[in-house]
A and B are shown apart, each in its own frame.
Chain A
Amino acid sequence: MAQDSVGLSSDYQFWIQKLSVWKQASTLETQQDTCLYLPQFQEFLRQMYEALKEMDSNTVIERFPTIGQLLAKTCRNPFILAYDESQKILIWCLCCLINKDPQNSGESQLNSWTRGLLSRILAAFRSDIKEVDLFTQGLGYAPADYYPGLLKNMVLSLVSELRENHLNGFNTQSRMAPERVRSLSRVCVPLVTLPDFEPLVEALLTYHGQEPQEVLWPEFFGAVNEAFLLKKICLPVSAVLCLWLRHLPSLEKAVLHLFEKLVSSERNCLRRIECFMKDSLLPEAACHPAIFRVVDEMFRYALLETEGAPEVLAAMQVFTRCFVEALEKENQQPKFALKTYFPYASPSLVMVLLQRPKDIPQGLWHRPLKRISEMLKEIVEDETQGSSGGPFENWFLLAHFGGWADIAAEQLLTSVGDAEPPEALLWLLAFSSSPGDGPQQRAQTMVEVKAVLSHLGRLLRSPTLSAGNLLAAAEESREGDPRPPACQQLTRRLLLNFLLWAPGGRAMARDVITLMARTDEIMHEIVGFLDQTLYRWDHLGVDAPGSRKLARELLAELRGQA
């Protein structure tokens, strides 16, 4: 408490000075500076109120002899009065100064002075035009009656001026001068969250002058973005798109905001992640390549920073899915070439990856898989081909459409024991699980996978199928050496697929998983796998009631344990 009041006192001095400099915020500089400090000042007012409400008015004056100046100056700064909840907190502070039963003239004086300030904020409004006052009073209206209407008319008038500007841009007569637009955007900073201002905010965002430089004030974008992210305003997608295209920091903040939400939400729940994604409007906005590239770049950094954390990977896949969906909804005839979204990738590869498995009969899935694998292999292993990026770039591209690699794993498992597993699928799996491997290591991984598959196939037909056997089949490497971690993860995934698809596997799924989940990390991996699989099946409309039921039950059980 003592610490707090020391902090408050030093802040107090700082703000008294600021308020004196700002005066009535009537110049460009003071407006600019006021806007910069609005949230901080509101926080200070809040702390001030918390301190004041514990004291009687005499103690307040003793502790803060200049409180009157502070509050009176605040009352004269329209930017502060207009911002968020500042006017309300200021009123609370003033209420603390009112003495219920003044004992001497000094106390009465203070009461009267405080009431004057309260009136100033609330009641005694006089517009600066005498005739208007006379007229409204003559009609018997109080300011409270016509304020909303007046503000609405003013906003609409400005909106139509901006629109006209927009339409007859070169007609200098009707044009709103750029300085005026700029000043309007500055005035809007504290007001963006006032519902009456929504049409004006939208008109400003979609307004483009003839000037080569940005006319709107950067803080305006910042304030709108902040309000949008905190859901304090509703804006149409088109306006949000303009905001993000015009102000890169706002876009970056929006993506980071989404990331933060994903990180703090429940782990391994793609349904919820999808809701967050759509709610953020980012997938829709990403239909504009410039926005897609920024978002994508940030996903790339997130992947690099987390060394390919499965959660980030899964989130990126959901994002891509939502983005593709939005793209299809938005334009039957694409406005932008695919190349503009994925400039470093081979266009034909992007085309194949973009195909939706849902649109292809399940029996033919092996065809696109084979193509994807071959194309990737050709690009990755041909070192002379520089134009389409290195292994990481191509893996990053594949990772967007990670569903294909999952389908590859499923295909291998559903046909286990029937025939030799196709090389193309093996390669695709090996590449997607460890893109940094050289050809030799990758061949090694393929051999391991093949061995696991054939082992599982043999077990399926043998009478000695047991949880222990199954786990051993997946975990014991062919030569007895421990496998690299990526390869271990891959074989775990194969085993999990086996448990869901093979009838014999389903019966002992619970036992195998209990044996398998030795660490929290692996437990999360299993939960993630089940969640992603169910999410993917839902979207593909995979009809496998037995597998689906089991996966759902397992997911519920494991979530309960985790």
Chain B
Amino acid sequence: MDSLLQQLERFSEVLAVSRTTHVSTWDAATVRRALQWARYLRHVHRRFGRHARIRKALERRLQNQWKQEGGSGPAPALGLTNFQALGHCDLLLSLRLLANRALGDAAFHYLLQELFPGPGVPGAEEGTLQGSLALLARRRAAVHMLRSSAYRENPVLQEDSLMKTQAELLLERLQEVGEAHAEGPGRFLSRLWEHLPHNNFLKVTAAALLLPPSSPRHQEEESELGNPRRAGERGRELLHWLLGKSEVIVAFCRNLPAGLLTSVAGRHPEVSRVYLGLLTDWGRHLHYDLQKGIWIGTESQDVPWEELYGRFQSLCQAPPPLKDEVLTTLKSCKAQDGDFEVPGLSIWTDLLLALESGA
């Protein structure tokens, strides 16, 4: 067992080096050893996939390494983050070496011979590296072709394939980080927030919160691996982090499209409470311009009336519990404001009137 863990550690180092310029010192023999290692670990993955004790030990070791790797970038640079990844570690190594221009000609030549033995080599078809690499190239072409012809971005954001895929990846990673770090994935998420473009990050977060409780892709793996955690639970941690970071939740409620927020609020009552709180807050910042006869803000960051109305309108189209909650909130605000029925005195009166006539 110890030797197995050592092997794992050494291979992780090799994998980390494989995408640096250090590979310029590699010769054919180094490439051969690295590939042999990868094959060995893939064999370990196959062999011990259902062996809970060994799996756990290997996984703990991987997570320790990850932790040690520490806080440079947001991402686990290692590549080997869970037991599953051992199943295709040879593919990962091959791709890194193929793309690494620092690898010398002789070593590269040897790599190609190993990866692409050509036709007629016994067992050279599916399940081998040659097969997996060709399949990857084929899938790559397929994605390209679909995107450039028949595929359209789905206007319902959470159903868009690119969004959905990113959301699935995010949750998958969160689970691993959660297991590796005692404090949960909060720090990891904050680091992502610092490093990645905010708009896309928020959209992916919303899509992740809307994924069905157990997306089929994970269900399959989890039932096979006896892992009880579901997408829903991983989503909890994401939600927890989101609600705890006021800067993020404000950006979330302010920047995402109304329809998407309504869906998230409909699924997660915690979000709907915060969202309604923010909306009423934003509403209070507006005042009535007597000359123009409209509600306007005093500062540039104030939410315009049209947007406020649009968000409430979208919420009122949601199925009952949310819709009722929204109307109750609006009515209680109106009551606090003096319960006027005449337009121009309270924004809540005007919003309710507009919603009624618009419905």
A263 / chain B contacts, CB cutoff of 8 Å: none
Give residues 160-215 of A contacting B (CB, 8 Å): 180-181, 183-184, 186-187, 191, 194, 196-197
- A187, B146: Cβ atoms closer than 8 Å: yes
A119 to B148, CA, bound (A): 21
Contacts of B143 in A (CB 8 A): 127, 147, 150-151, 154
Given A78-B141, A82-B142, A140-B76, also A88-B130 (CB < 8 A): yes
B149 with A184: CB separation less than 8 A: yes
Minimum CB–CB distance for B208 against chain A, Å:
12
B98 contacts across to A, CB distance below 8 A: 115, 118-119, 122-123
A154 and B146 contacting across the interface, CB-CB below 8 Å: yes
For residue B166, CB closer than 8 A to chain A, the reply is yes
Partner of A129, one of B105, B140, B162, B195: B162
Q: Please, which residue of chain A has its CB at the minimum distance from the CB of B203?
A: A131
Indicate if the CB atoms of B139 and A148 lie closer than 8 Å: yes
**A356 contacts the other chain (CB 8 A):** no
Q: Which 7 A-B residue pairs are closest in the complex by CB-CB distance?
A: A140-B75, A184-B150, A123-B99, A81-B141, A153-B161, A82-B141, A88-B134
B276 at the interface (CB under 8 A from A): no
Tell whether A306 is near chain B: CB-to-CB under 8 Å.
no
A65 interface residue per 8 A CB criterion: no
- Against A, the Cβ 8 Å flags (1 = close, 0 = not) of B63-106 are 00000000001111111010000001001100110110100011
Cβ-defined contact, A151 with B197, below 8 A: no
Could you give 7 example pairs across A and B, Cβ below 8 Å? A131-B199, A132-B200, A144-B92, A148-B139, A154-B161, A155-B146, A196-B139
Interface membership of A99, Cβ < 8 A? yes
Given contacts A100-B106, A138-B196, A153-B164, contact A147 B139 (CB under 8 A): yes
Question: B139–A139 contact, CB under 8 A?
Answer: no
Q: Which residues of A contact B251 (CB under 8 A)?
A: none
Tell me the complex Cα distance, A184–B149, Å.
7
- The 8 A CB mask of B124-150 against A (1 = contact, 0 = none) is 000000100110111111111111111
Contact B142 A196 (CB under 8 A): yes
Q: Does A358 contact B (CB under 8 A)?
A: no
Query: Taking A92-B118, A134-B197 as contacts, is the C-beta distance between A124 and B138 under 8 angstroms?
Result: no
Q: Which of B101, B138, B154 contacts A81 (CB 8 A)?
A: B138
Most chain B CB within 10 A, of A121, A139, A152, is at A139
User: Is there contact, CB below 8 Å, between A102 and B145?
Assistant: no
For the complex formed, measure the closest distance between the CB of A334 and the CB atoms of chain B, giving whole angstroms. Answer: 39
Answer yes or no: B151 CB below 8 A from chain A CBs.
Answer: yes
A99 with B165: CB separation less than 8 A: no
Residues of the A chain whose Cβ atoms lie less than 8 Å from the Cβ of B139 = 147-148, 151, 194, 196
Q: Which chain A residue shows the least CB distance to B73?
A: A138
Name the one of A78, A139, A141 contacting B144, with C-beta atoms under 8 angstroms.
A78
| Additional A-B contact list (6), CB under 8 Å, known A95-B113, A102-B105, A149-B169 | A98-B105, A129-B162, A139-B173, A153-B165, A156-B161, A191-B145
Q: Is the CB of B145 within 8 A of A131?
A: no
How many A residues touch the partner, as a band? 35 or more
The complex places the Cα of A79 from the Cα of B141 at a distance, in Å, of 7
A101 contacts B161, C-beta separation under 8 Å? no
CB nearest neighbor in A for B152: A180
Contact A91 B217 (CB under 8 A): no
Q: Is A389 an interface residue (CB 8 A)?
A: no
Contact: B147 with A128, CB < 8 Å? Answer: yes
Partner of A132, one of B74, B149, B162: B162
Report Cα–Cα, A488/B237, bound state, in Å. 87
A128 contacts across to B, CB distance below 8 A: 147
Q: Are A121 and B137 in contact (CB under 8 A)?
A: yes
1/0 per position for B277-292, CB-CB distance to A under 8 A?
0000000000000000
Contact with A along B183-198 (1 / 0, CB 8 A): 0000000001001110
**Cβ of A388 < 8 Å from any Cβ of B?**
no
A95 to B98, CA, bound (A): 12
Q: Considering the chains assembled together, what is the distance between the CA atoms of A87 and B136 in angstroms?
A: 10
Closest to B28 in A: A100
* A115 B108 Cβ-Cβ under 8 A: yes
* Residue B170 is within 8 A (CB to CB) of chain A in the complex: yes
- State whether A101 touches B134 (Cβ < 8 A): no
Let me know if A136 and B159 touch, CB within 8 A: no
Contact check: which of A85, A136, A138 meets B195 at CB < 8 Å? A138
Measured CA separation A138–B192 after assembly (Å)? 7
Is the C-beta of B40 less than 8 angstroms from some C-beta in chain A? no
B350: interface (CB < 8 Å): no
Indicate with 1 or 0, residue by residue over A103-147, a CB within 8 angstroms of chain B CB atoms. 000001001100100110111110111011011111111111111
Is B109 in contact with chain A by the CB < 8 A criterion?
yes
Question: What distance in Å separates the Cβ of A218 from its nearest Cβ neighbour in chain B?
Answer: 17
With a cutoff of 8 Å between Cβ atoms, the chain A residues found around residue B133 in the complex are: 91, 122
Q: A158 in the interface, Cβ–Cβ < 8 Å?
A: yes
> Residues of A contacting B140 with CB < 8 Å?
81, 121, 125, 143, 147
Which parts of B259-300 form the interface with A (CB within 8 Å)? none
Asked whether B169 lies within 8 Å of A141 as measured between CB atoms, the reply is: yes
Whether B145 lies near A147 (C-beta < 8 A) is no
Rounded to whole angstroms, the CA-CA distance of A100 and B138 in the bound complex is 27
A residues within 8 A CB of B101? 112, 115
Chain B proximity mask over A41-53: 1 for CB below 8 Å, otherwise 0: 0000000010001
A65–B170 Cα distance when bound, in Å, is 48
Q: Which residues of B contact A17 (CB under 8 A)?
A: none
A87→B145 CA distance, assembly (Å)? 15
Determine if B201 is an interface residue (Cβ-Cβ < 8 Å): yes
Report the Cα distance A127→B200, complex, angstroms.
15
A141–B80 Cα distance when bound, in Å, is 10
B233 interface residue, CB < 8 Å from A? no
Q: Is the CB of A136 within 8 A of B169?
A: yes
Min CB distance, A192 to chain B, in Å? Answer: 11
Which chain B residues border A141 with CB–CB below 8 Å?
169, 173
CA–CA, A184 to B146, complex, Å? 8
Residue A40 CB within 8 A of the other chain: no
